[in-house]
């Protein structure tokens, strides 16, 4: 565990540092709860951080050394839970922030996990399948002492998937000499994965959007939506919102934005994306640079790509009156203030995208039981949890007169604090 409070790296002490944003929002909620500085420091500080060097033999016979991280933010409510991302811009502050967000996310949906997160600095687009497998297995072996169904349960994240989880599960199982499916979630169904897991985060986005719309007295068929992203969160979220009657006027991928004021045929657009690996060339709409998408005219904006998309530089140009955060940290803390002042309702990431970790919890439970549920059962239980979580956060927002984001943090932190006060401080 780090000595003293963790602070953001000197290179990232600005608005765009995700750990700094998390701390600012944490402190606002801690003020609502009137927490003393000692308790604030305890809850802000990750319990364990591990940085590992990963020597990997590449396809051409050379050896490259990659850097990997795993941060375990908090164990008070149960084992750590959180994804592993492979990306060239992974850094320790990002992983710290994501681990903390996982703690608050699990608390909001009231599942018995703490928060963890991991990452490897690499560019998967430049790596073969064999190189990705060797990186994954080496990373798993390097952090294996802190993994396990009762310690830390990883899941997929940016640029990782069910195949990555299968490699992690297999590597862990070989080391402990028994098949241990519950060590990761987001696995293929044939290896103990849960039905409904692939769609879970996008389904959660749709469910909290539905609850927010009810609260605001709006109807889906009279609502235009811009979705930034088209992957497991953005693409599936857009598809499910489309089925509910919303008019999806824009989708995007890493190469550009698709826009049609009359509404997109979302299933056809996603079919085109699967076939061509890009939305470019899809005929039903105009193509534009990604930088313009967030400022399009719409009623609802779903940023479902990556963090730091809505900032102090563009928050005053956002046209949407309702934002559903599908990605982690898409709004900076400074942008949040601007949006609130303008009357924009923001359903925060730690609530809006909690569907994924909720069904990951279901998968973990099913693996430990050795008994698996139908997809209808999974979706029904997910809906119950997401609807209750929205209601709980909305209740805190009304009772304290704060934004949905501050309310979400307040509810999450209060639940963790209550567990701490019951358990006490081990000496």
Angle, to 10 degrees, between the axis of helix 200-216 and the axis of helix 355-369?
A: 130
Residue 1 has pLDDT above 70, yes or no: no
Q: Which CATH number applies to 200-352?
A: 3.40.50.720
Residue 387 Cα distances to 23, 147, 237, 382, 412, angstroms: 27, 31, 16, 9, 16
138 alpha-carbon distance from chain centroid: 24
Q: pLDDT, tens digit, for every residue of 26-63?
A: 999 999 999 999 999 999 999 999 999 999 999 999 99
Q: What is the pLDDT of residues 96-112, one digit of tens each?
A: 999 999 999 999 999 99
Stated pTM of the model = 0.92
pLDDT of residue 11: 36
Q: What does the radius of gyration of the chain's CA atoms come to, in whole angstroms?
A: 21
What angle do the packed helices 375-400 and 355-369 form, to 10 degrees?
130
Cβ neighbours of 395 (radius 10 Å):
12
Query: What is the C-alpha separation between 210 and 220, in angstroms, rounded?
Result: 8
DSSP string, 40-75: HHHHHS-SEEEEEEEEEE-TTS-EEEEEEEEEE---
Structure tokens at 126: 């430049």
Q: Looking at residue 166, what is its pLDDT?
A: 98
Q: Which two tokens stand for residue 142?
A: 């390097």
- Average pLDDT (382-392) is 98
Residue ranges per structural domain of the chain: 10-188, 200-352
pLDDT of res. 165:
98
pLDDT score recorded for residue 410: 97
How far are the Cα atoms of 204, 210, 349, 387 from residue 383, in angstroms, in the given order? Answer: 8, 11, 17, 6
Going by pLDDT thresholds of 50, 70 and 90, the confidence category of residue 364 is very high
Cα angle 329, 9, 144 (rounded to 5 degrees) comes to 75
The pLDDT confidence band at residue 17, using thresholds 50, 70 and 90, is confident
Domains 10-188 and 200-352 share a fold: yes
Output the average pLDDT for the chain.
Answer: 94
Largest CA distance in the chain: 65
- Give the pLDDT of residue 330: 94
Q: Which of 54-63, 133-142, 328-337, 382-391 has the lowest mean pLDDT?
A: 328-337
Which residues contact residue 242 at a Cβ distance below 8 angstroms, ignoring those fewer than 6 apart? 248, 264, 266, 267
Active site residues: 117
Q: Mark out the alpha helices in 327-374 (DSSP H runs).
A: 333-341, 349-352, 355-369
What is the third-level CATH fold of 10-188?
Answer: Rossmann fold (3.40.50)
| CA end-to-end distance (rounded Å), the chain | 15
CB atoms within 10 A of CB 321: 16
CB 280 within 8 A of CB 255: yes
pLDDT digits (tens, 9 = 90+) for 193-220: 999 999 999 999 999 999 999 999 999 9
**Tokens, residue 378:** 């999974």
């Amino acid at each position: 565990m780090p000595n003293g409070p963790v602070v953001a790296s000197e290179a990232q002490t600005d608005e765009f540092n995700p750990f700094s944003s998390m701390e600012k929002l944490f402190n606002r909620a801690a003020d609502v709860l009137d927490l003393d500085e000692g308790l604030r420091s305890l809850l802000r500080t990750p319990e364990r951080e591990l940085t590992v060097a990963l020597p990997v033999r590449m396809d051409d016979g050379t050896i490259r050394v990659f850097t990997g991280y795993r941060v375990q933010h908090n164990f008070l409510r149960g084992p750590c839970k959180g994804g592993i991302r492979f990306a060239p811009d992974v850094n320790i502050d990002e992983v710290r922030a994501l681990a903390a967000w996982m703690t608050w996310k699990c608390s909001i949906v009231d599942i018995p996990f703490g928060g963890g997160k991991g990452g490897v600095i690499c560019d998967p687009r430049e790596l073969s399948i064999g190189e990705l497998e060797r990186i994954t297995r080496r990373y798993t072996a390097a952090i294996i002492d802190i993994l396990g169904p009762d310690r830390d349960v990883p899941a997929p994240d940016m640029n990782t998937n069910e195949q990555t989880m299968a490699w992690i599960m297999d590597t862990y199982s070989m080391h402990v000499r028994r098949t241990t499916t519950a060590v990761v979630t987001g696995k293929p169904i044939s290896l103990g994965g849960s039905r409904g897991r692939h769609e879970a985060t996008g389904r959660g986005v749709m469910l909290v959007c539905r609850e927010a719309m009810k609260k605001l007295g709006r109807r889906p068929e009279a609502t235009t939506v811009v979705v930034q992203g088209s992957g497991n969160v953005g693409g599936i979220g857009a598809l499910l919102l489309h089925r509910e009657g919303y008019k999806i006027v824009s989708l995007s991928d890493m190469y550009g934005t698709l826009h049609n004021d009359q509404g997109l045929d979302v299933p056809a657009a996603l079919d085109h994306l699967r076939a061509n690996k890009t939305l470019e060339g899809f005929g039903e709409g105009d193509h534009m640079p990604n930088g313009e998408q967030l400022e399009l005219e719409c009623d609802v904006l779903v940023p479902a790509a990556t963090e730091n998309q809505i900032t102090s530089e563009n928050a005053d140009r956002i046209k949407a009156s309702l934002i559903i955060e599908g990605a982690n940290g898409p709004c900076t803390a400074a942008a949040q203030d601007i949006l609130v002042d303008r009357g924009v309702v923001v359903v925060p990431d730690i609530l809006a995208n909690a569907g994924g970790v909720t069904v990951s919890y279901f998968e973990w439970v099913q693996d430990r039981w050795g008994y698996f549920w139908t997809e209808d059962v999974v979706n029904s239980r997910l809906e119950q949890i997401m609807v209750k979580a929205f209601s709980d956060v909305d209740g805190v927002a009304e009772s304290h007169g704060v934004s949905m984001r501050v309310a979400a943090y307040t509810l999450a932190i209060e639940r963790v604090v209550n567990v701490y006060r019951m358990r006490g401080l081990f000496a």
